[in-house]
Structure 1
Amino acid sequence: MEHLVTYLPLLARGWLVTISLAVLALVLATVLGALGAAGRLSASPIARGAVFLYSTIIRGVPDLVLLLLVYFGGQRLINTILGAIGVEPVDLSPFLAGVLAIGFIYGAYLTETFRGAFLAVPRGQIEAASALGLHRWRLLRHVLMPQIIRAALPGYGNTWQVLVKSTAVVSVIGLQDLVGYANDAGKTTREPFVFFVAVLAGYLFITWASTRILAMLERRAERGYADAR
């Protein structure tokens, strides 16, 4: 146990890396999910088909496989393009590769979450707002977004919880996150069990805090919906 106390600052640093990775990946996934939902709901068959392929293929590929493809294949692709234009090759950091891969994966899940949330808004409300002459952006802000957020929050929260746990795979490509530091410390001290119990506690704290925050946001969204009615 004294080894755990010694390595605690290092684990704390890795824990912050894990949270940073998860938050940035969620931001990317949210943007991709919103764009994907817009594509699935658009009148263009090309956009619908492209997004359908994206969400279907990505949700069928294991996270680790896609991470390795992004880290090794993506780095090679970038350097091939840079070499063609006479630019020196660059290294794709494990952190950036993790953000891109995890964000890309969970963007596919959020595409369906946001699409379902939009379809949950009664069509009559959109028609009534249009009949009143609301501009498209005002319609989106005052009529659609409050209801889409309310409908999407449970699925969004579940996606976040799973995304956080998926960050653990990034240690495979050498990222010094919570799992990476714990693995190194466990090998050094020959106490892997102690350090991976600490990892378990670190992830449980993130998910516990996330559950509390998401529950508060859901209650607030429900209260706002009840007040509006």
Structure 2
Amino acid sequence: MININAISKRYSNTDAPVLSKLSLTVADGESVSIRGASGSGKSTLLSLIAGFESPDSGSITIGSQTLPFSSEKNADRFRRQALGVIFQSYNLIECLNVWDNIAFTSRLKGNSDDEYQLHIMGLLGITHLKNKPAHQLSGGEQQRVAISRALVHKPTLVLADEPTGNLDEATSDKVSAALYDTCQSLKTTLVVVTHSDDVARMAGQQRWLRHGQLHSEPA
């Protein structure tokens, strides 16, 4: 379970806090989508949940783990074992091919499963790209590789920052369905930040971020 209790976050170059006493509860295996204007703090919220940043006040609990982590070693272990992140910027390793990029995290975790990896790649329509170097991929192909990498080690929590942002409508529908269905089958908690109404509506919970807080209805 994710339990976010009244967190606030302010950056020194801003007059108003990015997040202000924001709270959210997501049960194990549940999905939640978060929509909001550009600059509203959506990516900041994901960064805080992942432990890449710390809130100025309030608390975040994920399962039995309370953030901030007691050490960077514990943070690394949590991210490697329990977390899958789909970055808006993909963060692929350009010198590796598609197969090795996807397998990277599962190899670190020690649960590499070639059959399951092929299954995930098939769901996302990229099996034919397995030997292609990452630097030769289109933006949409890179996005599907990044999604596969986030899912392949069977994490308990997936954080997705605009997971279909560079895909055409038909491909977006297919990829987002695969993301939600895979997380549901694994009982993986999913937090999705998106501008897409179609992607957002697939979630069990829908939230809108504005003025630093989450709301259950659009403005």
Same fold (TM > 0.5): no
Larger Rg computed on CA atoms: 1
Tell me the TM-score normalized by structure 1. 0.24
* Greater fraction helix: 1
Tell me the TM-score normalized by structure 2. 0.24
